[in-house]
Amino acid sequence: MSGGAQDYDPATLAFYEREAEVYAGRPHDGQFSRLRRFLGDLAPGAQILELGCGGGRDAAEMIRLGYRVTPTDGSPAMAAQAERRLGLPVRVMTFEALEAEAEYDAVWASASLLHARAAALPDIFARIRRALRPGGRLCAGFKGGDGEGYDSLGRYYNFPTEAALRDAFAAAGPWRSLEIEHADGAGYDGVRRDWLICLAVRP
């Protein structure tokens, strides 16, 4: 598998380093409806890897519900924010550093893989597939578009079409199923976009 610094955007990582405290402390409505739907298909106490945990909100909710969570983030400053919230270590890790094999029942990647280089997605999906146990599930959210670019805050996005995402998943190896749901929503920059929510299951 390929990997390395070329697979992510240094300016985007630098943004989260600078803005970690503000980003982690932004208001939240306390709703975890999509996360809870995802967790509803897992066994109690399932082992979950979170890629791009940000300030640790989702990890805190999963832990509260009794799941065993391994939170990770590519930004050391953001990982430190999550550690303060969770009271446990958060691994600083880029997506391309994932080397686990059949270790997790699920991978939760909410609004994180959307920052990975578009060309790197097949490799990253392959790494996630390998890290999942048979029947393991991945949920990942992307901002839809017609190709990679930057937002008004200077953050890189892959902005994929649904077809491009399906091709990237297919290139990573066979999956038992892949569902892609469209949802309207705004991100940290306040711009509303069509979100592509992917749920993939390893054979």
91 assigned to some structural domain? yes
- 121-178 residue pLDDT tens: 999 999 999 999 999 999 999 999 999 999 999 999 999 999 999 999 999 999 999 9
pLDDT for the residue 30 = 64
24 assigned to some structural domain? yes
163 assigned to some structural domain? no
164 assigned to some structural domain? no
Number of domains in the chain: 1
User: pTM (2 decimals)?
Assistant: 0.94
What pairing do the DSSP bridges indicate for beta strands 192-201 and 177-186? antiparallel
Residue 188 backbone dihedrals phi, psi, to 5 degrees: -60, -25
152 assigned to some structural domain? yes
130 assigned to some structural domain? yes
72 assigned to some structural domain? yes
The predicted model gives 108-114 an average pLDDT of 96
pLDDT band at 188 (very low <50, low <70, confident <90, very high): confident
62 assigned to some structural domain? yes
- 85-95 residue pLDDT tens: 999 999 999 99
Give the domain range for residue 74: 5-158+169-201
Domain of 133, CATH number, reads 3.40.50.150
d(CA 148, CA 114): 10
Helices and strands in the chain, H and E counts: 6, 9
